[in-house]
Amino acid sequence: MGLIQNVLAVIVVLGLLITFHEFGHFWVARRCGVKVLRFSVGFGKPIWSRRDRHDTEFAVAAIPLGGYVKMLDEREGPVDPAERHLAFNHKTVWQRIAIVAAGPLANFLLAIVAYWALFVAGTTTVVPVIGEVAPDSPAARGGLAAGQEITAVRGEAVRSWEEINLKLVAAIGADGALSVSTREGGGEPREHRLPVQDWLVRQDPPQPLPSLGITPWRPAIPAVLDRVVEGEPAAAAGLQAGDEILTVDGRPIEDWQQFVEIVRASPGETLDLEVARDGARRELSLTPRANTLEDEATIGYIGAGVAAVDWPEEYRREVRYGPLAAVGQAVGRTGEMTVLTVDAIRKMLVGLISPSNLSGPITIARIAGDTARSGLESFIGFLAYLSISLGVLNLLPIPVLDGGHLLYYLVEVVRGRPVSEHAQAVGLRIGLALVGTLMLMALYFDLMRLW
């Protein structure tokens, strides 16, 4: 069922993003007087189609991952002399720039609309209160302590752990000190300087909070199982949903996190458990299996989960804006995420971020499925972020992508004449090689994560 949900989620996400992208090209092309021959959602043989009064064919094709807009163009086939003025290649360079740029801009517009909807509907976040600070960590040396609420990072206000992580990731490569502001209770904000060197450089994947020695505050979660995965060590040991873990090797278990830490530290070791079930105590033997993480660390895994608990009201924060105020917030969030994406690409090119952070269709499908199961709010937020990523990637100056065409047209503006067909053909081959290499790398890292 999880695999089916992941596949359906990625089809919906990519289908919506690419359709919106292609509609941007289509809408501007129509207004520039270009004849659009086909608007296809998906590739391959059409399973449904119809024509409008402009003789444009609208089609839904069999392969749902993609889409395209086909315009009248003398470079792609013969054009009736009576319709030559409707061909894309006969439009001014500024019209061609507008048509090509409209696709990525449509993705940014979709992100703004998605964030606007989230801000108007309201989002519930967790107040970023520190739970623990690791001894001799950058956070400890900077004076951070348990119970403090983080209010700003690098001088910019934050309201949630998500915003804090975004600000910290944006500082990858920093040397010297990170500025973090906190307050405790109703006191005045206090600024801290956290010493860092080559901050998160080539860390795979980047883990901002653990690297600083910060553990967010969480409510105590009772060690009561909510689910047990068939075929995994927990089920083999006889554990069932509803069981409460009382002791492990004679040590009392106070909460779920303590039990998790013991399991993770005990791959292949037999643990003697005492559990409470239906008012009675039972003794069971559990042997966690070894699970190797991406950083090659080996931890214990048993295949069991715990029920979520409600956060205390004082640790919950609702972020909501009126329809007009939400516009500014949505534009600001889209701009922030765009800058973060561009900066991440730059840092990957100069070696500050490992290329293993590239994600391909498998990772996108998994995250799409996870966010869909987490609720509409998470799904819309992921949709907005992926739309921004698609817009940024399409604007890269690589032939084959929209950014490559824009580069040719800007050269044409400067030179006063189009780039030669030969130069464009060479660029096309280079672009295909680059994009193909990136796709293969992303798929490779996807498979490594899956493995």
Give 39-62 pLDDT, tens digit per residue: 998 888 888 999 999 889 999 888
Residues 230 and 192 in one domain: no
Q: Can you tell me which residue has the tokens 């030179």?
A: 415
Residues 208 and 272 in one domain: no
As a whole number of angstroms, the distance between CA 343 and CA 389 comes to 12
Phi, psi of 144 (to 5 degrees): -75, 150
Q: Which residue has the higher pLDDT, 394 or 358?
A: 394
Q: Which residue has the higher pLDDT, 381 or 9?
A: 381
Residue 143: its pLDDT value, please? 92
Residues 143 and 162 in one domain: yes
Nearest in space to 145 (alpha carbons), one of 93, 183, 95: 183
Give 88-124 pLDDT, tens digit per residue: 999 999 999 999 999 999 999 999 999 999 999 988 8
Could you give the number of structural domains in the chain? 2
Whether residue 249 contacts residue 271, with contact meaning beta carbons closer than 8 Å, is answered with yes
Whether residue 80 contacts residue 62, with contact meaning beta carbons closer than 8 Å, is answered with no
As a whole number of angstroms, the distance between CA 358 and CA 336 comes to 20
Residues 238 and 270 in one domain: yes
Residues 189 and 263 in one domain: no
Inter-helix orientation angle 93-121/376-394, to 10°: 160
Whether residue 129 contacts residue 217, with contact meaning beta carbons closer than 8 Å, is answered with yes
Of 9-13, 20-24, 232-236, minimum mean pLDDT range: 9-13
Residues 238 and 297 in one domain: yes
Whether residue 223 contacts residue 248, with contact meaning beta carbons closer than 8 Å, is answered with no
Residue 449: its pLDDT value, please? 67
As a whole number, mean pLDDT of residues 400-406 equals: 92
Q: In this structure, how many other beta carbons lie within 10 angstroms of the beta carbon of residue 31?
A: 12
Q: How far is CA 229 from CA 4, 6, 40, 46, 124, in A?
A: 18, 19, 42, 42, 30
Whether residue 344 contacts residue 353, with contact meaning beta carbons closer than 8 Å, is answered with yes
Give 285-322 pLDDT, tens digit per residue: 999 988 876 555 788 899 998 877 778 888 888 888 99
How many Cα atoms occupy the beta-carbon half-sphere of 59 within 13 Å?
22
Evaluate whether residue 157 is within a structural domain.
Answer: yes
Q: How far is CA 408 from CA 31, 94, 170, 430, in A?
A: 22, 12, 31, 14
Buried b (16+ CB within 10 A) or exposed e, 179-217: bbbbeeeeeeeeebebebeebbbbbeebebbebbbbbeb
Residues 235 and 181 in one domain: no
Give the residue from 309, 334, 366 where a domain finishes: 309
Q: How far is CA 151 from CA 33, 79, 84, 155, 164, in A?
A: 52, 62, 60, 9, 9
As a whole number of angstroms, the distance between CA 309 and CA 221 comes to 7
Evaluate whether residue 152 is within a structural domain.
Answer: yes
Its domain, for residue 285, covers: 225-309
As a whole number, mean pLDDT of residues 201-217 equals: 85
Residue 66: its pLDDT value, please? 75
Residues 153 and 186 in one domain: yes
pLDDT over 90 for what percent of the chain?
Answer: 46
Evaluate whether residue 314 is within a structural domain.
Answer: no
Residue 62: its pLDDT value, please? 83
Residues 270 and 230 in one domain: yes
Of 63-77, 86-100, 207-221, 381-395, minimum mean pLDDT range: 63-77
Residues in the chain: 451
Residues 259 and 229 in one domain: yes
Residues 204 and 134 in one domain: yes
Residues linked to residue 193 through DSSP beta bridges, in sequence order: 179
Residue 176 region by backbone torsions, left for phi larger than 0, else alpha for psi between -120 and 50, else beta: left
Whether residue 349 contacts residue 73, with contact meaning beta carbons closer than 8 Å, is answered with no
Evaluate whether residue 256 is within a structural domain.
Answer: yes
Residue 451: its pLDDT value, please? 63
As a whole number of angstroms, the distance between CA 29 and CA 198 comes to 47
**Across all residues in the chain, what is the average pLDDT?**
87
Catalytic hit among 22, 57, 132, 244 = 22
Looking at residue 264, the DSSP 8-state letter turns out to be H
Evaluate whether residue 447 is within a structural domain.
Answer: no
Confidence of residue 1 (pLDDT cuts 50, 70, 90): very low
As a whole number of angstroms, the distance between CA 436 and CA 379 comes to 28
Residue 276: which CATH number?
2.30.42.10
Evaluate whether residue 94 is within a structural domain.
Answer: no
Evaluate whether residue 86 is within a structural domain.
Answer: no
Contacts 24+ apart (CB under 8 A), 255-260: 255/220, 255/221, 255/222, 255/223, 256/221, 256/222, 256/223, 256/224, 256/306, 257/218, 257/221, 258/223, 259/223
Is residue 22 flagged as an active site residue?
yes
As a whole number of angstroms, the distance between CA 21 and CA 234 comes to 46
As a whole number, mean pLDDT of residues 370-395 equals: 85
Sheet strands side by side (includes 251-252): 251-252, 244-248, 271-277, 280-286
As a whole number, mean pLDDT of residues 234-247 equals: 92
Give the residue from 242, 274, 309 where a domain finishes: 309
Nearest in space to 322 (alpha carbons), one of 127, 159, 122: 122
Residue 110: its pLDDT value, please? 96
Whether residue 140 contacts residue 211, with contact meaning beta carbons closer than 8 Å, is answered with no
Looking at residue 85, the DSSP 8-state letter turns out to be G
Residues 153 and 212 in one domain: yes
Residue 192: its pLDDT value, please? 93
Evaluate whether residue 18 is within a structural domain.
Answer: no
pLDDT over 70 for what percent of the chain?
Answer: 93
- Asked if residue 450 has pLDDT above 70, the reply is no
